[in-house]
Amino acid sequence: MGAIVLIAGLVARLGRRYGFPTVPCYMLVGILLGPGTPGPVLIDHPEDLAILASLGLVLLLFHLGVEFPAEQVLGSGRRLFIAAGVYIGLNVTAGLALGFALGWGTSEALVTGGALGISSSAIATKLLIELRRLTNAETPIILGIIVIEDMFLAFYLALLSPVLNDSGSTADFVVDLLVSFGFLVLLFAMARFGARAIALVLNSREDELLAILMVGLVVLVAGIALEVGVSEAIGALMIGLVVSRTSLKDRVEQLVMPLRDVFAAIFFVSFGLTIDVGDLGSVALPAAVAVVITVCTNLTAGIVTARLFGFNQRAATNIGLTVLGRGEFSLILATLAIAAGLDERIGPFVALYVLVLAIAAPLLAAQSRHFARFVPDRLLRSRYRYVRAETMSTSCTHQDQMHYTETDIDVCQECVDIGSTWVQLRLCMKCGYVGCCDDSPHKHTSAHYEREHHPVIQSLEPGADWQYCYVDEILVRQPLGRASSS
C-alpha cells in the first residue's frame, strides 16, 4: 500500500506539471498496478483497502459540507438558480437517457445520470486559477453553479439510497425514500439549531484533540447513516454542513484538508484497483458517446447562462467548458453502484469517462475562445468581433475614469460634418464624446482614442450594456453587486 500511494503521489506531481488534475492520476495508478491489468500487481485484493477508502470518501464529503457557503447560495438570486437548474437538468437528463438507451436498467440509469450530471468542483476551481480567470465576470456564476451542484448532490444521494438498497415493493421504496429525506431534514435541523451543541462537543484549544474529536464525530454520523439505510456520503456531507455553522469552521477546515487529501487519494487508487482493463473495450463506445453528449450539454447550458446574465460568446464557452470535468462525485456514485451489486460495466464506464474528460476538459477550456466563434450572434445579441470574442472581466484598472454613462447625443457629429453615415454609436466614458463604431467607414471612436487616449467606451445601442477598454483590451463589467456610476 505504501508503494502504490507513493507512486500515485509521484505520478500526480508529474501530471500537475502539465496541468492535469490529480484525481485521474490516482485512479490511473490503481488501474495500472491492480489485479485487472497485466504486469506488476502491488495489491491483489482491493477489498484490503476498503476501510481506508471509505474513510477517504467520508472525509471528502465532510470537507465539502464544511466549505459549503449556504448564505452565498441563498443570496445569489433567481437567475443563478435558473442557470444551475438548466445545467444540472440538461446533464442529468442526458445521463439518464444514455443509461436507458444502453439497456442497463433503472438503477444503473440513475447512477449514469448522476455521473454525467455533476461536475468536479476541484477540477473547475483549479482551471479558473490556472487559466487566470478569477476576475472574469462569469467566474462568480461558475462558482455559484458548482456550489448549487454540491447542494443537489445531497438530495440526489438521498434519492439514490433506497434504489441502491434494492427496496422490494413500492411501499418499501417509499418508506426508504422517506427515511433518506427524513435523515436529511434531521441534519438540516441540526445545522440550523444544534450547531452550538456540536461546537461544545468538538471544542478544544489543542489541534490534536480537535482533529480526533472531529474524525470520531464524522465517522459516527456516517455509520449511523449506513445503519438507517442512507449512504455514508450523505451523513458525512450533512455533518460537515452542521460544523460549517459553528465558530470552529476555519480550524476544522484547516485540519481536515490534509487528512482529506491523503485518504481521498487512497479512495481514488482503490477505485482504480477494481477496474479490469479487459472491460474497458466493451464500454469504450458508450464512454465516447457520453463525452460528446457532455460537451454539447455543457456548451448549451453555458449559452443559456450567458443569455440570462447578459454575457458574450466568449463568456458562454468559458462557463460551459470550465465545468466540463468530471471526477470525485462521479467516482463516488460508481463506487456506491459497485457496492450495491449493479451492472459490472458501470465501474469501467465511469472510469473511462472520467479519464477522458480529465484530459479533455483542461485542453478545451484553455481554447474556449475558438469555440466562441461558432456561437451564433442571434443567441446572445453580440454582433461585433471584440464584443463576442473578448473575455468580460472585472479587472479593468481604468474604472475610475468612467464619468459618463448616458448622453442625449444620437449622432456621430464628425460623420455629419463630412456628410458620411455610420453603423452604431459609442460613448467615451471619460469625456462624453460620441462617435461611430469600428464597423463604420471612418471609425471615429477609435480615432478619438488614438488622439486622446481615453480608455473606456460604452455602446449606445438599445439593449447593449457592454463597455470596452482599449488599454486592457477586454470587455468591462462592474463587479457583481456594484451599481454603475452615473
Q: Of all residues in the chain, what percent carry a pLDDT higher than 70?
A: 90
Distance of CA 208 to the CA centre of its chain: 33
- pLDDT for 479: 47
Q: Which residues is 58 bridged to in the sheet?
A: none
- pLDDT for 456: 92
287 and 245 within one domain: yes
- pLDDT for 309: 83
Phi, psi of 434 (to 5 degrees): -115, 125
- Provide the residue type at 149 as one letter: E
306 and 177 within one domain: yes
Per-residue confidence band for 419, with pLDDT thresholds at 50, 70 and 90:
very high
The enclosing H or E element of 226 equals: helix 207-227
Measured distance CA(345)–CA(334) in Å, rounded = 10
Q: Of all residues in the chain, what percent carry a pLDDT higher than 90?
A: 32
Q: Which of 46-50, 225-229, 424-428, 477-481 has the lowest mean pLDDT?
A: 477-481
- For the cut 90, the answer to whether the pLDDT of residue 154 exceeds it is no
Question: Residue 477 in 3-state DSSP?
Answer: coil
406 and 343 within one domain: no
Per-residue confidence band for 484, with pLDDT thresholds at 50, 70 and 90:
very low
Residue range of the domain that includes 471: 394-476
Grid-cell match 469555440, residue found: 371
Q: Which three cell numbers stand for residue 91?
A: 446533464
169 and 125 within one domain: yes
Q: Which three cell numbers stand for residue 268?
A: 481514488
- pLDDT for 244: 84
What CATH number should be reported for the domain holding residue 400? 3.30.40.10
Q: Which residues is 458 bridged to in the sheet?
A: 427, 467
190 and 59 within one domain: yes
pLDDT tens-digit profile of 366-392? 888 888 888 887 787 655 556 666 676
Q: Taking residues 326-341, report their average pLDDT.
A: 85
Q: Taking residues 303-330, report their average pLDDT.
A: 88
446 and 368 within one domain: no
- For the cut 90, the answer to whether the pLDDT of residue 69 exceeds it is no
Q: Taking residues 172-179, report their average pLDDT.
A: 74
- pLDDT for 395: 64
What total number of domains does the chain contain? 2
212 and 86 within one domain: yes
pLDDT tens-digit profile of 219-234? 999 998 888 777 787 7
147 and 71 within one domain: yes
Q: Which three cell numbers stand for residue 36?
A: 485487472
Measured distance CA(312)–CA(483) in Å, rounded = 20
The answer to the question of residue 482 being in a domain is no
Question: Residue 476 in 3-state DSSP?
Answer: strand
DSSP code string of 339-379: HTT--TTHHHHHHHHHHHHHHHHHHHHHTHHHHHTTS-HHH
Q: Which three cell numbers stand for residue 458?
A: 460604452
What CATH number should be reported for the domain holding residue 229? 1.20.1530.20
The enclosing H or E element of 97 equals: helix 78-101
180 and 242 within one domain: yes
| pTM for the whole structure | 0.69
